[in-house]
Amino acid sequence: MKVKIILFIFFFIFVETALLLSCTIFYAARNNMVLSGNSEDWSDPNTYMTFYPSETGKQGWVKFGFQNGFPQGGMNESGLFWDAASTPYLAMPYSEENKEKYNGVLMQKVIEECSITQEAVAVFEEYYCDDLYNAQYLVGDSTGTSIIVEGDEIFGSIEDFQVMTNFCQSQYEPGNYPCWRYDTAAEMLQNSDEISEYLFGSILSATHQEGNYPSQYSNIYDNRNCIIYLFYYHNYEEYITINLNQELQEGYRSYYIPSLFSEIEMIYPGYESIIDSTSVTFRWEGKESSIYELYCSTDPDFTDCVPRSSTPSHIPGYLGICLFGSIFVGTIFKRRSYLIFIIIFCVIFSLQSCSEKSTSPSDSDIIEFTQTVENLQPGTTYYWKIIANPVGTDDFFSETVTYSFSISSF
């Protein structure tokens, strides 16, 4: 019995540790593109984005992290990117013997002083810090070069990409790594001839975390153009585009990341759906307080497209769908007891859905919005997206990915 209890406690601690250690970071340079990606997985929903303009001897940069202010990741105006992942404790005898201990935030020194990975290597060869006992860094630049800093080790990639999660790669044989997120990201990069923002978004979606330690925010970095795509709470349909060099010209600023998003979920029409009508009522969910514009066009770039404002339906998504289904089923079967049972079930399901820890931590009300567009042309493919602006955040607009649909020829 004692052995079973000890094994259970060990297993519980192992599972809890696995849940805590769950960030995914990757970098790739292929066919004249250089992209980086990361998800920040943790229990704290209070996340921030802060811009630091350049100073004498210091590059301008953007920091992503939590309310304690410690930088979790970011990129500077030269396109040098980094993000960190926690790991089990790793001793650093070589660093303690041969390097100077840096008492500040070592990665901040790197991101403020270095333009390329080679310069970052020189800093890591001279300094170490306490953070590296329980964390590792992936650093990549705009030229297509990246490194992983793991305790005493600094190693580059043998391919045109690198992936890092929450284990020390030096302690395992290649191909036998103990992390499905690492395997998923590496396989998706290996199996793609090209890299793109879409591929990186797909990797982030495939490796995201939910439950008690969800992906609070995710980034895709275009290292060469210093463009950042920011996603909130593992919703990869809505993002904010950040031109780093333009934002740094506006001076020091800090933003509470959840306040920048409208938590949009596109409902109808679905991706690549076919519709037997020239009139379409678009439906999506989002924050009640946000301002929305619908873009619908035969041009996927929406050139000269005039946006349409939104109309809220004020029906919570899960409950509205369940109640409609209840009435529909009850009408067919004409059994009052069956109808009452379904309604009670739907209400409980709706409340349960709201109480799940994997749902959005936002306190804002999420409602459904609709907008009808008429006189669409038969036999034509259309594209649609939503652009949103939460009230009080005029600095950034979020937008959704673009969905396509077709009107049948009847």
Task: Band the pLDDT of 363: cuts 50, 70, 90.
Answer: low
Q: What is the pLDDT of residue 344?
A: 42
Say which CATH architecture domain 18-260 belongs to. Answer: 4-Layer Sandwich (3.60)
pLDDT band, very low/low/confident/very high, at 174 (cuts 50, 70, 90):
confident
Chain centroid offset of residue 65 CA:
13
Quick check: 84 and 148 in contact, CB under 8 A?
Answer: no
DSSP string, 66-123: ETT--EEEEEETT--EEEEEE-S----HHHHHHSEEP-S-HHHHHHHH-SSHHHHHHH
Architecture of domain 262-410: Sandwich (2.60)
Please write the tens of the pLDDT for every residue from 332-351.
444 554 444 444 444 343 43
Nearest alpha carbon to residue 387 among 317, 284, 315:
284
Q: Do residues 216 and 48 touch, judged by C-beta distance below 8 A?
A: no
- Which residues lie below 8 Å from residue 288, measured CB to CB, with a gap of 6+? 312, 364, 365, 366, 367
The residues near 298 (Cβ < 8 Å, ≥ 6 apart) are 377, 380, 381, 382, 383
- Looking at every residue in the chain, the average pLDDT score rounds to 87
Tell me the percentage of the chain whose pLDDT exceeds 70: 82
Task: Please tell me the distance from the alpha carbon of residue 403 to that of residue 269, in angstroms, as a whole number.
Answer: 8
Residue with tokens 């990246």, as numbered in its chain: 146
Band (319; pLDDT cuts 50, 70, 90) = very low
Tokens linked to 204: 């982030």
Beta pairing partners, 273: 405
Dihedral sign, Cα of residue 92, residue 95, residue 96, residue 101? negative
Residue extent(s) of CATH 3.60.60.10 domains in the chain: 18-260
Q: Which of 219-233, 322-336, 387-401 has the lowest mean pLDDT?
A: 322-336
Averaged pLDDT for residues 387-403: 90
- DSSP per-residue string spanning 28-61: EEETTEEEEEEEEE-S---EEEEEE--BTTB--E
Nearest CA among 116, 140, 113 for reference residue 127:
113
- DSSP single-letter state for residue 365: P
Q: Which residues neighbour 253 within 8 Å (Cβ) at sequence distance 6 or greater?
A: 50, 51, 247, 395
Per-residue confidence band for 306, with pLDDT thresholds at 50, 70 and 90: very high
Parallel/antiparallel/unpaired status of strands 403-407 and 273-275: parallel
How many CB atoms are closer than 10 A to CB 234?
20
Confidence of residue 320 (pLDDT cuts 50, 70, 90): very low
pLDDT tier, 362 (very low <50, low <70, confident <90, very high otherwise): low
Q: What are the C-alpha distances in Å from 28 to residues 61, 211, 289, 318, 385?
A: 21, 29, 38, 39, 28
- Of 4-8, 28-32, 37-41, minimum mean pLDDT range: 4-8
What pLDDT does residue 22 have? 79
Give the least confident one: 5-14, 65-74, 147-156, 306-315.
5-14
pLDDT at 86: 96
* Rounded distance between C-alpha atoms, residue 404 and residue 384, angstroms: 6
Residue extent(s) of CATH 2.60.40.650 domains in the chain: 262-410
**pLDDT grade, residue 281 (50/70/90)?**
very high
